[in-house]
């Protein structure tokens, strides 16, 4: 692990206070050494779900690193002394890694999306990166992936000899899938990129950069897809604030006690 990367726990989940350069360097290091593993790109939603899902919480500890995708987590890291922490935005990370894959001729596999979406994503990525080597793709319209389908997918990925697998199942399905399957894919680096499949395939409109930078991407997405996202943003995010407040009060109480 790159010793220059600092880590800080937010609600017991260890987050890397890092930047794109370090994340990409670590992924390439895993590829070169054929070590495999998985990267989690975490928003508030994932951190909150992990508080009540022991498999998810324990599984996140097995990741190569868990990085903050969402300005609230970046702000919390900076408030906790990690001034250089940057947002690692799933769609941007995917594009940067595709550039790396084209340059170094690393093999890429795309896993996720509605019926036909991974094929559209492949075409769009090939337009941006004409020499990229996408060796396979598979849609995941049913989540979690049924066992029989999953066995077929695992065999597909193994046979593809891919080195990077972009996983776009959405939170927490993609994280749980990587936790449960990374040991079967010992030389592939799995990267959970969430909504990147929707955005880059052109099926969901992406928030403008200025909205992302002020931490209001959640509002933009909620307005676009209220029926699908209302629970995540109105309930889960409220739970996160409450849990963070309780955690802070306990920490202050214990500090005064000692």
CA distances from 175 to 42, 59, 61, 86, 160 (A): 9, 8, 11, 21, 22
Alpha-carbon distance of 134 to 98, in angstroms, equals 9
Averaged pLDDT for residues 29-58: 96
Tokens read off for 147: 């066992």
**Winning range, highest mean pLDDT, from 89-98, 198-207, 240-249:** 89-98
pLDDT, position 94: 98
pLDDT at 257: 64
pLDDT band at 252 (very low <50, low <70, confident <90, very high): low
- pLDDT tens for 165-175 read 999 999 999 99
For residue 112, the SS3 value is strand
Query: In angstroms, rounded to a whole number, what is the distance separating the alpha carbons of residues 163 and 31?
Result: 6
What is the pLDDT at residue 255? 61
pLDDT in tens, 192-225: 998 999 999 998 888 888 888 777 887 787 788 8
pLDDT at 227 > cutoff 50: yes
Q: Would the pTM of this model clear 0.75, i.e. be above it?
A: yes
Is 234's pLDDT higher than 60?
Answer: yes
Q: What is the structure's pLDDT at 244?
A: 83
Q: Which CATH number fits domain 6-205: 3.40.50, 3.30.1150, 3.10.20, 3.40.640?
A: 3.40.50
Q: State what percent of residues in the chain have pLDDT above 90.
A: 75
Give me the mean pLDDT over the 133-157 stretch: 97
* Residue 163 binned pLDDT confidence (cut-offs 50, 70, 90): very high
Report DSSP letters for 30-47, one per residue: HHHTT--EEEEEE-HHHH
Q: What number is the average pLDDT over the span 77-97?
A: 95
CB neighbourhood size of 47 (10 A)? 27
Q: 69 in helix, strand or coil?
A: coil
pLDDT at 110 over 70: yes
- The pLDDT tens digits of the residues spanning 44-61 come to 999 999 999 999 999 999
Domain boundaries, the chain: 6-205, 212-257
Integer angstrom CA distances of residue 193 from 10, 169, 178: 20, 8, 12
pLDDT at 86 over 90: yes
If one compares 62 and 4, the residue with the highest pLDDT of the two is: 62
Longest Cα–Cα distance of the chain, Å, equals: 61
Considering the chain, what is the average pLDDT of its residues? 92
- Tell me, what's the pLDDT at 2? 47
What's the pLDDT at 3? 54
Q: What percent of the chain is helix, strand and coil (3-state, nearest 5)?
A: 55, 15, 30
| Residue 105 in this model has a pLDDT that exceeds 60 | yes
Tell me how far apart the alpha carbons of residues 17 and 81 are, in angstroms, rounded to a whole number: 10
Angle, alpha carbons 53-54-56 (nearest 5°): 70
Closest among 109, 107, 104, 106 to 121, alpha carbons compared? 109
Res. 91: pLDDT tops 50 = yes
Q: What is the pLDDT of residue 1?
A: 43
- How many CB atoms are closer than 10 A to CB 239? 15
**Token pair 């972009």: residue:** 166
């Amino acid at each position: 692990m790159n010793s220059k990367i600092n880590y800080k726990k937010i609600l017991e989940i260890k987050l890397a206070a890092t930047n794109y350069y370090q994340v990409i360097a670590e992924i390439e290091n895993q590829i070169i050494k054929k070590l495999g593993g998985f990267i989690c790109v975490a928003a508030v939603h994932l951190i909150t779900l992990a508080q009540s899902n022991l498999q998810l919480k324990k599984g996140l500890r097995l990741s190569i690193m868990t990085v903050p995708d969402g300005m609230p987590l970046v702000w919390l890291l900076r408030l906790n002394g990690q001034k250089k922490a940057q947002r690692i935005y799933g769609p941007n990370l995917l594009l940067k890694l595709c550039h790396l894959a084209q340059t170094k001729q690393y093999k890429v596999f795309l896993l996720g999306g509605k019926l036909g979406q991974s094929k559209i994503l492949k075409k769009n990525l090939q337009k941006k990166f004409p020499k990229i080597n996408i060796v396979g793709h598979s849609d995941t319209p049913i989540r979690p992936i049924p066992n029989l389908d999953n066995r077929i997918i695992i065999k597909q990925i193994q046979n593809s000899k891919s080195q990077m697998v972009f996983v776009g199942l959405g939170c927490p399905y993609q994280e749980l899938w990587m936790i449960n399957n990374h040991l079967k894919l010992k030389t592939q680096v799995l990267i959970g990129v969430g909504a990147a499949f929707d955005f880059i395939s052109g099926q969901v409109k992406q928030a403008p950069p200025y909205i992302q930078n002020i931490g209001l991407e959640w509002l933009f997405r909620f307005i676009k897809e209220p029926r699908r996202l209302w629970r995540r943003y109105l309930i889960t995010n409220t739970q996160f604030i409450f849990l963070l407040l309780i955690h802070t009060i306990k920490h202050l109480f214990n500090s005064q006690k000692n």
